[in-house]
Structure 1
Amino acid sequence: MQVQEYKEHNFRLLICSESDRFEIERLSPIEHIGYLQMYDRDGRLEIRDLWINEEPEDFRGKGFGSILIEHAFEYAKEKRMDYIFGHTQKDDYRVHRFYEKCGFKVFIDNRYDRAWFLYPSNGGLMNTPDFDQLAKLGGLGNELGIYEFN
């Protein structure tokens, strides 16, 4: 496990390379803030879970999720992955806005009641992704009816 401390901001990032997981915690007093779980899916990085603690102190909206996403961007770039993707609930607009703010493009999938978020890790313009392939990688099947979220 690799640890990066940011003492001036009172947190540290734990990079668990053996499990493709980043954890973030406050230094003083020590408290778990959140984590990001990700998987390599055929040269694409899937964000499976991003969680920020709300109890006993609410850490949401304080930039910790963005810190974790930035490290996922760096990880994908180092591994030369094509893009980063994931999905969330179709009607969770707060989460949609979060991913858009981080640079992702959000698409709504009416068939599976999901919202896909995608980011090109190579920094280039993203061509229209193969949603059937994403659904297969994410374990959702294919034949999707998707339109862009505005």
Structure 2
Amino acid sequence: MSPDGIRPPTLLALPSYLASHLAQIGRRVLADALAERGLRLPHFAVLTGLADFGPLAQHDLADRLGLNRSHLVGYLDEVERRGLVGRERDPGDRRRQRVTLTDDGRALAGELLTLAQRSQREFLGVLSEDERATLVELMRRVVNADDVARSRLVG
């Protein structure tokens, strides 16, 4: 049976169905690569989020990453035990915890980014570099449009 005959053609015509399966494949490949370092996807998200944005209030980090605030605490506990992040009282609001990368966390975030990029190239290996760039740009536009729409509802 050809690969096209495995899944129902009606579903293969739905972008949301394809995007969901593409996400599952990409998530699996990245999760496997991170597991070799003893990390999970939320740990990677925390480290790269802090590398991109700098120190953040704990609740702001959860919101930017799309993580449940109470779940974030557990992820932070794990990476803090490994010496990758530190938490301190936010000088602007003593009621808040501010999360920062340590030097080891910053170094690991850079290594993980390289690992993640390699895993993504592998899982999208059937596409050319230009096709991968186009795919990423199109997906980013959809995500950005959703972010704008959601911010209007909240703000």
Shorter-chain TM range is under 0.3
Structure number, greater radius of gyration: 2
Name whichever structure is richer in strand by fraction: 1
